[in-house]
Amino acid sequence: MKVLLRVIFLFLAITGAVTLLYDFTDIKWGVTDYFVKHGYAFLFFMALFPRLTLIVSGLIFSSIEFGGILWWLGFFLAPRFLVAVLATISYWNTNPILVIISWFFALSGESSEKIFISRRFRRHQTYQGNFQSAIKETEGTVIDAEYTVKE
């Protein structure tokens, strides 16, 4: 339930931001068809390798919007969300199905990636406690152990 509320809040925040951009700027947003500027290969690589595709297409080919502090935050923290926001701003009027698919990839890809990473690091955590207090608790205790070699 908590995740659903976060998704709804995020959707409403982005919808509000895009609405403000449409209403209060002179920039024509979303008047170009996706397939006029890009092809299926770009779509495939953007879905699977968003950071690499954003850097290559932004720096080398200049085929996407590039730069700004929010762009770089999105690039480092959640690149799939950045792709979905850019798709919403640029192609919502001409290709709404592609925008919805980009949001599906953003929501499913980012959450599954974060869960995978957190489980992987949780498995490799080491003891972060205070070793001095552990030594004081065991002072005076004699531990007797026998070791045998199994053949």
CA distance 24 to 97: 26
Report the 3 state secondary structure along 83-149: HHHHHHHHHCCCCHHHHHHHHHHHHHHHHHHHHHHHHHHHHCCCCCCCHHHHHHHCCCCCCCCCCCC
pTM of the full structure:
0.56
Q: What is the mean pLDDT of the chain?
A: 75
Domain parsing of the chain, residue ranges: 2-125
* Higher per-residue pLDDT: 68 or 126: 68
Confidence category of residue 108, pLDDT binned at 50, 70, 90? confident
Reported as half-sphere exposure (CB side, CA atoms, 13 A), residue 39 has a value of: 1
| Inter-residue contact 31 to 92 (CB < 8 Å) | no
pLDDT (tens digit, 9 = 90+) per residue, 54-85? 888 766 665 566 667 777 888 888 888 888 88
